[in-house]
Amino acid sequence: MNAEILIVDDNADIRNILNELISDHGFKTRVAANFGQALNEIDKKLPDVAIIDVKLDKGDNDGIELLSHIKNKNKDVPVIIISGHANIEMAVKSLKSGAFEFIEKPFDQERLMNFVNRAVENFNLKKENKEYETKLFSSYDLIGESKNINSIRDQIEKISQTESRVFISGPSGSGKELIARKIHKKSKRNKKPFVILNGALLDTTKYEQELFGEEKINGIISYGALEKANKGTLLIEQISEIPLDIQSKILRVLIDQKFKRINGNTDINVDVRLICSSSENLKNEIDLGNFREDLYHRLNVFEINIDPLNQRISDIPILIKYFSKKISDNYNIKELEIDHNNSYLLNHLWPGNVRELRNMIERIAILQPDTKDKLSNIIKESVKTDNLNEKIRENSLSVPLKEAREKFEKEYLTLQIKKFNGNISKTASFVGMERSALHRKLKVLGIKEFN
């Protein structure tokens, strides 16, 4: 990659020396002679690396303000701070503010280029990792044959062609973000940004800044998620965690289609499709006074509900096969041979849902067990806390034999029916019963049949 370096220094001689030196090493360059020019260059297009003098024309340490401005836009951009008035305090302040390196003037050219080369490598590595993670996540499909997953696929196809706001509910790790990404990818906005804001991970004092951005006294603008997602899609995860006062401001944006940045006087108009998700029951949160009912109805134009994995047992073998191939390909190893009908995996309650299953298969890929026994031990260790067979066994010890047998049969047949997605013929064949006999047994045990 032919990286682009921004050089900011109010001394023309130093600017020219740096420009010539860095250009001679094959990098593209841009230059700025003062604070205002630098701000314009940064806002026009972020560089891959910036070299900034601490003291420019605006005031003491205004180079540190530019450093902070870059970090607000993209914390991964390396910034090398240079100074002709260096002291330990200034160096520490620069590094605490996020500087990649600090170097004094007059600087050794070889040492400076060493810093530049390392900074470019650092930026490229982080960028490649992000691109890989995004590509990997985006490449995942919504896998399963359960009624719930088939219904969600149909909903995604229909919703994607509209501009409707969407609310996605489901337990943690079930695939809410994946559904949102699929909606965005299939929509007319797919070439525009997909921005994620997680309400559960934000500093409680920064909700407003993260959403709406801020205009600082020094003229630097910090852009919020709404502006970053302009023309694209904004996913607010765990919307239930957003405080009530911020909820009212989100409601006002939905009504007016505009907002002001913190400390700003100008209305900002944005065109954003809003998707929200939560693992909490928002109707309960409304009853508890934690969530605004009027906002709920604005957000919930179209609702998608994804079931926990333990209610989609028929999807588990398919997911195991899918992730085994996907993760084996990612690690460039022989495809993992995991028994898709392993009772430990089918009986596990999967509190972490699909994410937990994927993580377990990735753990197996990393450890690369070379025997079936080692593979089995990893699986048993991964799911030992919630093994349903253990629960059935423990509960059965305290009741008479007839009751224990009936309890086991009910648990067993319910599990098998879910595994075969309600298909009675397949269930009967698997458990070794005639179809009519299985119907009678289900009726006796009070097990509801479903298709």
pLDDT tens digits for 69-80? 898 888 889 999
Based on the domain organization, do 34 and 58 belong to the same domain? Answer: yes
168, 276 Cβ separation under 8 angstroms = yes
Q: What is the CATH number of the domain that holds 68?
A: 3.40.50.2300
User: Using CA atoms, how far apart are residues 150 and 137, in angstroms rounded to an integer?
Assistant: 20
Based on the domain organization, do 281 and 265 belong to the same domain? Answer: yes
Based on the domain organization, do 393 and 376 belong to the same domain? Answer: no
- pLDDT attached to residue 215: 85
Whether 166 maps to a domain, the answer reads: yes
Question: How far, in whole angstroms, is CA 91 from its chain's centroid?
Answer: 34
Based on the domain organization, do 117 and 179 belong to the same domain? Answer: no
32, 6 Cβ separation under 8 angstroms = yes
Based on the domain organization, do 20 and 122 belong to the same domain? Answer: yes
Whether 451 maps to a domain, the answer reads: no
Based on the domain organization, do 259 and 154 belong to the same domain? Answer: yes
| Domain edge (last residue) among 81, 110, 134 | 134
57, 34 Cβ separation under 8 angstroms = yes
Which residues fall within 8 angstroms of residue 314, CB to CB, at 6 or more apart? Answer: 144, 145, 146, 418, 419, 420, 421
DSSP 298: H
421, 146 Cβ separation under 8 angstroms = yes
Based on the domain organization, do 152 and 127 belong to the same domain? Answer: no
Q: What is the CATH number of the domain that holds 439?
A: 1.10.10.60
| Angle CA 128–49–18, to nearest 5 | 145
| Domain edge (last residue) among 113, 134, 155 | 134
Based on the domain organization, do 261 and 147 belong to the same domain? Answer: yes
Whether 450 maps to a domain, the answer reads: no
**DSSP, residue by residue, 315-342:** HHHHHHHHHHHHHHHHHTSPPP---TT-
Overall domain count for the chain: 4
Using 50 as the pLDDT threshold, list the residues of the chain that sit under it. Answer: 385-394
Q: What is the CATH number of the domain that holds 326?
A: 1.10.8.60
Based on the domain organization, do 292 and 349 belong to the same domain? Answer: no
Whether 300 maps to a domain, the answer reads: yes
User: Using CA atoms, how far apart are residues 204 and 6, in angstroms rounded to an integer?
Assistant: 34
Based on the domain organization, do 145 and 169 belong to the same domain? Answer: yes
| Domain edge (last residue) among 386, 406, 433 | 386
- pLDDT attached to residue 269: 92
- Contacts of residues 35-43 at CB distance under 8 Å and 24 or more positions apart, as own/partner, are 35/62, 35/65, 35/66, 37/8, 38/6, 38/8, 38/66, 39/66, 39/69, 39/219, 39/220, 41/6, 41/8, 42/6, 42/66, 42/69, 42/70, 42/73, 43/221
User: Using CA atoms, how far apart are residues 253 and 247, in angstroms rounded to an integer?
Assistant: 10
- pLDDT attached to residue 388: 45
C-alpha distance from residue 437 to each of 309, 411, 415, 417, 424 (Å): 29, 17, 17, 14, 11
Whether 365 maps to a domain, the answer reads: yes
pLDDT tens digits for 186-202? 999 999 999 999 888 77
C-alpha distance from residue 70 to each of 55, 61, 75, 218, 440 (Å): 16, 15, 7, 14, 70
Q: What is the CATH number of the domain that holds 282?
A: 3.40.50.300
Helix (H) or strand (E) holding 361: helix 353-367
Phi, psi for residue 101 in degrees, rounded to 5: -150, 160
Based on the domain organization, do 343 and 432 belong to the same domain? Answer: no
- pLDDT attached to residue 386: 46
Look up the domain containing 408 and give its range.
Answer: 389-445
Based on the domain organization, do 84 and 158 belong to the same domain? Answer: no
